[in-house]
């Protein structure tokens, strides 16, 4: 789907940097796989490939933090308080960090300076992961709540109202956690599909990388497949993220980017204001 570009230069073992993580954070059916694939097309970003894990999700490939399919149920996992991991978590320890490093070293290929990890539960683990990986960057991807709910419906018996309410709760936790993060970018599925070039330029600026290659596939917004016909309840928090009724998408505003370096924020906003 996405072409992997070769490493731009050979790296001697003694020169290999400790990899930094970019965690893709978003609910099921919100565009996380699309985003992770685009990031992984960069020669300096490695991704998990060719494992038996569902959707190549790193949470299934580590033993530091217990995780099974019961922990990441689509349209439901955010209701479980055990999934919201912060600085206060019992997993905030050197032992956890070392175990994660050891387990993920086995499944990430090569010695790229960056690694992209995509698991839906990342949405609720950012504050813990920042403690375990202090140089980590977080990219949140959101999608209109009604489109997300209807796209998720085939995987669950939950009603549409229940799925929209789960979207509301998960994103409220996300917004509550954002002020604690040193490096976070909020990217909407609708913006990514409307102007992939601008979104990729913003991501490159956020990570301080050379330009991410333009995709060789046609990236399309599939919201229309889900937003036709009946109306659905829209939670108030959707407006905070720029989502309106009938699938409307409004400017995102000040939520877009957080970074301790102002130059990174300016670089992002040059492309997606």
The predicted-structure confidence for 176-219, as pLDDT tens digits, reads as follows 999 999 999 999 999 999 999 999 999 999 999 999 999 988 89
Assigned CATH topology for domain 18-269: Rossmann fold (3.40.50)
Average pLDDT over residues 245-272: 90
57 with 172: CB under 8 angstroms?
no
> What are the domain boundaries of the chain?
18-269
The overall average pLDDT reported for the chain is 92
Average pLDDT over residues 220-233: 88
239 with 139: CB under 8 angstroms?
no
30 with 124: CB under 8 angstroms?
no
At residue 70, the pLDDT reads 79
Residue-wise pLDDT for 139-152, tens only, equals 999 999 999 999 99
Share of the chain above pLDDT 90, in %: 81
**How does residue 12 score in pLDDT terms, banded at 50, 70 and 90?**
very low
Residue 13 half-sphere exposure toward CB, CA atoms < 13 A: 0
Average pLDDT over residues 84-107: 98
At residue 15, the pLDDT reads 55
**How does residue 41 score in pLDDT terms, banded at 50, 70 and 90?**
very high
At residue 16, the pLDDT reads 62
Residue-wise pLDDT for 113-124, tens only, equals 999 999 999 999
CA trace torsion 166, 170, 176, 177 (10° rounding): 170
At residue 254, the pLDDT reads 79
Q: What is the pTM of this model?
A: 0.92
The encoded tokens of residue 221 equal 């917004």
Q: Which of 88-102, 149-163, 222-236 has the lowest mean pLDDT?
A: 222-236
Going by their DSSP bridges, the two strands 20-25 and 114-118 should be labelled as: parallel
**How does residue 72 score in pLDDT terms, banded at 50, 70 and 90?**
confident
At residue 11, the pLDDT reads 44
pLDDT above 50: residue 13: no
Q: Which of 22-31, 179-188, 225-234 has the lowest mean pLDDT?
A: 225-234
DSSP symbols for 148-184:
HHHHHGGG-S--HHHHHHHHHHHHHHHHHHGGG-SEE
**How does residue 14 score in pLDDT terms, banded at 50, 70 and 90?**
very low
């Amino acid at each position: 789907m996405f072409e992997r570009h070769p490493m731009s230069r050979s790296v001697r073992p003694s020169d290999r940097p400790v990899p930094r993580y970019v965690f893709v954070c978003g609910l099921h059916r919100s565009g996380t796989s699309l985003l992770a694939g685009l990031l992984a097309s960069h020669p300096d970003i490695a991704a998990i490939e060719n494992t038996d894990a569902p959707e190549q999700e790193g949470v299934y490939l580590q033993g530091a933090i217990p995780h099974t399919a019961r922990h990441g149920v689509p349209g439901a996992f955010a209701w479980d308080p055990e999934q919201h991991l912060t600085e206060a978590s019992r997993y905030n320890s050197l032992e956890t960090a070392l175990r994660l490093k050891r387990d993920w070293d086995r499944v990430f290929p090569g010695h790229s300076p960056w690694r992209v990890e995509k698991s839906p539960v990342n949405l609720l683990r950012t504050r813990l992961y920042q403690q375990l990986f202090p140089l980590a960057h977080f990219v949140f991807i959101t999608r209109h709540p009604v489109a997300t709910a209807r796209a998720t419906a085939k995987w669950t018996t939950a009603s549409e109202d229940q799925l929209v309410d789960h979207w509301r709760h998960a994103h409220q936790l996300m917004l509550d956690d954002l002020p604690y993060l040193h490096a976070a970018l909020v990217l909407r599925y609708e913006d990514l599909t409307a102007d992939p070039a601008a979104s990729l330029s913003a991501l490159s600026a956020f990570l301080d990388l050379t330009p991410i290659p333009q995709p060789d596939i046609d990236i399309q917004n599939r919201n229309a497949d889900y937003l036709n016909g009946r109306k659905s309840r829209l939670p108030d928090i959707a407006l905070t993220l720029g989502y309106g009724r009938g699938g409307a998408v409004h400017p995102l505003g000040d939520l877009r980017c957080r970074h301790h370096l102002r130059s990174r924020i300016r670089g992002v906003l040059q492309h997606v204001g």
